Amino acid sequence: MTVPESPAGAGRFDRLRRGLRRTREGILGRIGSLFRGSARSEDWSGELEEALIQADLGPRAAAQIVQAVKGAPGSTQPSWEGVREAARRVLRDILTSGNRTPPKGSVTPPRVVLVVGVNGGGKTTTAGKLARRFQGEGKKVVLCAADTFRAGAGEQLRLWAEQVGAEFVGHRPGADPSAVVFDAASATLSRGADALIVDTAGRLHTQDPLMRELEKIVRVVGRRIDGAPHEVLLVLDATTGQNGVNQARQFLDSARVSGLVLTKLDGTAKGGVAVRIVQELAIPLRYIGIGEGPDDLIDFDPDEFLEGLLPSAA
Ligand code: GDP
């Protein structure tokens, strides 16, 4: 198995734009076809609402956008530009209103980040990408494979560590995850590393033993490193759309999640789900995944995201 490289040289916004292509084209196609040209359907507002819901923006945002269009000048025969601007206003309000408080910012190193979520969502990949980012900032990182259940998860993380130049701590499959975390915390301290990133097993919120194991990991790392974990990132797969939001909600009830990561925004037309996540979950969306490569994790920036989703000139 190899870790794919990101396309070199592409700027951050270009990469975001490319990642959001399918979502953007879906939105522009659906809504544009209703309002470009001169004829309007009698039920344009119902069709607009439906198109927005299909773009995974969620019923609340869809209703708000329809209201905004109805309240705008020329609302009996709205123009494409009018609809686009009304939608952008509403989306900007939603995207910028989310709780953006950064997690415990001034932590004395080492900083401990736990990556949680269901299997296949992109936890291991996100842990690797985060390690790459921290290493790129000149920090020394330890990657810990606490997913001792899934065959191959440890090996996958070890490859990431090798590629990004991070230290790797893992045990054999089936080992006690808390014991791995304990060892990784000790290694982090003894080597004077700046960050410890822990990849946990893909737990379903309904799987009680797995939730208890996560709690144990939290306790163990907290006893070893002051204030740890400093951040618990819940990884959500954008391709699951609405299901991902429901899943997150249940997850938030049980884990001490401090931030969200939305992965696989590239290659899906369901990227509008980010709007829904920001609007409906009271946890900041911190990062978005726009590819499988090490540099394909970017900070979630509301204005940039909006421009990638529904450009001001389109
Ligand atoms: P885990 O089971 O939660 O640890 O998930 P993995 O990290 O193994 O990821 C599952 C699959 O999703 C892998 O094939 C990853 O390469 C892929 N993946 C993860 N993040 C992204 C992303 O942002 N974009 C794309 N296209 N694929 C991703």
Q: Would you say 297 and 133 are in contact if contact means Cβ atoms under 8 Å apart?
A: yes
Provide the 10 A C-beta neighbour count for residue 4. Answer: 11
Q: What was the pLDDT predicted at 100? A: 60
Phi-psi region of 206 (alpha: psi -120 to 50; beta: other; left: phi over 0): alpha
Among 33, 35, 17, 23, residue whose Cα is nearest residue 86: 35
pTM metric for this prediction: 0.91
Q: 121 CA distance to ligand 1 centroid (A)?
A: 6
Q: What was the pLDDT predicted at 106? A: 57
- pLDDT of residue 29 exceeding 50, the answer is yes
β-partners of residue 114 are 198, 232
Q: Would you say 286 and 261 are in contact if contact means Cβ atoms under 8 Å apart?
A: yes
120 Cα nearest atom in ligand 1: 2
Strands across the sheet containing 259-263:
167-170, 141-145, 195-199, 111-116, 231-237, 259-263, 285-289, 297-299
Exposed / middle / buried, residue 261 (Cβ in 10 Å: 0-12, 13-18, 19+): buried
**Angle (deg, nearest 10), helices 241-254 and 273-280:** 30
Q: What was the pLDDT predicted at 6? A: 47
Q: 81 CA distance to ligand 1 centroid (A)?
A: 37
Average pLDDT, the chain: 88
The H or E element spanning position 274 is helix 273-280
2 pLDDT tier (thresholds 50, 70, 90): very low
Mean pLDDT highest for which of 76-85, 223-232, 236-245? 223-232
10 pLDDT tier (thresholds 50, 70, 90): low
Q: What was the pLDDT predicted at 9? A: 45
Q: What is the pLDDT of residues 198-228, one digit of tens each?
A: 999 886 656 677 778 888 999 999 999 999 9
- pLDDT of residue 151 exceeding 80, the answer is no
Best CATH choice for the domain 12-97 from the list 3.90.550.10, 1.20.120.140, 3.40.50.300, 2.30.29.30: 1.20.120.140
- pLDDT of residue 8 exceeding 60, the answer is no
- CATH superfamily, with its number, for domain 111-309: P-loop containing nucleotide triphosphate hydrolases (3.40.50.300)
Q: What was the pLDDT predicted at 248? A: 82
297 Cα nearest atom in ligand 1: 23
CA angle 206, 210, 215 (to 5 degrees): 110
Q: For the chain, what are the domain ranges?
A: 12-97, 111-309
Q: 39 CA distance to ligand 1 centroid (A)?
A: 44
% pLDDT > 70, the chain: 91
The token pair at 188 is 């982090």
Among 26, 104, 5, residue whose Cα is nearest residue 314: 26
291 Cα nearest atom in ligand 1: 24
Q: Which amino acid is at 76?
A: T
% pLDDT > 90, the chain: 61
133 CB within 6 A, ligand 1? no
Q: What was the pLDDT predicted at 95? A: 92
**Angle (deg, nearest 10), helices 123-136 and 153-164:** 20
